Amino acid sequence: MSRRLRVLTVITRLELGGAQRVVLHTASHLDRESFAAGLAWGPGDVLDDEARGFGDVARFEIEELVRPVAPARDLRALAGLRGAIRRFRPQVVHTHSSKAGVLGRFAAHLERVPVVIHTVHGFGFTPLQSPVKRAAFFRVEKMAARWTDHFVAVSRVNRDRGVELGLWKTDRVSVIRAGIDLERFRAGGDGRQTRCRLGIPDGVPVVTQIGNFKPQKAPLDFIEAAARIAQRMPEVRFVMVGDGPLRGAARTRSEELGIADRVVFCGWWDDVPGLLAATWVSVLSSRHEGLPCSVVESLAAGVPVVATAVDGTPEVIRPGVNGELVAPGDPAGLAAAVLALLDDDDRRRAMAAAAADGLDDFDRDRMVRQLEELYRWMVGSKTC
């Protein structure tokens, strides 16, 4: 029998997002001399094929694993996850995202997996939920915490918030940053080619938001801010990268505000470094976060960021140094901060020069090595 530690990673879906990129890179880059990797997820998203291409990763596609609460399907997903655990026989189950976090940890508990770890990329109970729904989701998370040996938080604020809420004690949580390909973003891309593809002339200011079109990211707040910016600087072009349920509403609102000809809805973009090379200011209008990878990618690419001061975002944005922070739900404040940068080339360029400093903790290979150390330590502590 192999002496390698067997680690099964579980995530709800493989849509384009920071958590999904973390999962895929970790599963494919664990040291194969020390670890055997497995991955379980609910299929139906754009990163499925990438996961299926990992020849040395045991793959378990759980058809019933979906994001919405659906009791009958959730029970079948639980059974599917238990089956995956029985086949793979992991010493560690590591879950990501809310639904997979609950079902995966329960399945691991029922199958008596020695070590269960959960990464918090942001809490499943959020300010956008009704009080009743938020309380229910918190109770479920509290229950799942009983089946968890250790937690990983991507931000210090989430780590501390979990302690305050009684979800975990300080000795049961580690901060491990969600890693990105720092060198790729630091190297930059071809901004001129990106502008050509988007139909934006050289020299025209570009303001970009990267993120899914879900309530969490508040894409309509970005549109409202864009309209205010366009009133003062009609030459600015706005690029929205991503997709999701609010994309249609964002497009409609841009038409109502008379800026549809200045907003590019480009879907998921295949060359983000190239896009950032064409960007003057990167924006994120989120109402809640863990710590958004798009902000870190923008900074690594040397682009100043204007973002809402939610959760872990203030841990990387230094106001007046590499960007600005504004209150969530304040499109006017968002617009004012962007305009201040567009109006002052020297200030914006100074921020761009400082943007990539201090990001070494976000290197994705460093993240994998930290997780390997955690897996070894947790398994070792169980066998002592």
DSSP string, 81-148: HHHHHHHH--SEEEEESHHHHHHHHHHHHHTT-SEEEEEESS-SS-TTS-HHHHHHHHHHHHHHHTT-
Burial 131-157 (b: 16+ CB within 10 A, else e): eeebeebbebbeebbebbbbbbbbbeb
Low-confidence ranges of the chain (pLDDT < 70): 1-2, 383-384
Domain match, 141 and 225 both:
no
Domain match, 93 and 198 both:
no
Domain match, 155 and 261 both:
no
Domain match, 237 and 222 both:
yes
Domain match, 111 and 12 both:
yes
Share of the chain above pLDDT 90, in %: 91
Q: Which one-letter DSSP state was computed for residue 315? A: G
Residue 1's pLDDT is what?
40
Domain match, 140 and 263 both:
no
Q: What angle do the packed helices 71-88 and 98-110 form, to 10 degrees?
A: 50
Closest CA to 280 of 345, 200, 366: 345
Domain match, 355 and 370 both:
no
Structure confidence by residue, pLDDT tens digits, 7-36:
999 999 999 888 999 999 999 999 999 999
Q: Which domain holds residue 347?
A: 182-361
Residue 2's pLDDT is what?
57
Q: Which residues contact 330 (CB under 8 A, 6 or more apart)?
A: 221, 308
Residue 384's pLDDT is what?
59
Q: Is 258 exposed, middle or buried (0-12, 13-18, 19+ CB in 10 A)?
A: exposed
Cα-based distances in Å from 217 to 80, 101, 212, 297: 31, 21, 7, 16
- Structural domains counted in the chain: 2
Domain match, 134 and 233 both:
no
Structure confidence by residue, pLDDT tens digits, 197-244:
999 999 999 999 999 999 999 999 999 999 999 999 999 999 999 999
Domain match, 131 and 143 both:
yes
The CATH code of the domain that includes 106 is 3.40.50.2000
Domain match, 219 and 188 both:
yes
Q: Which residues contact 42 (CB under 8 A, 6 or more apart)?
A: 12, 13, 61, 62, 63, 64, 65, 66, 67, 77, 100
Residue 17's pLDDT is what?
87
Domain match, 122 and 225 both:
no
Residue 19's pLDDT is what?
93
Domain match, 113 and 211 both:
no
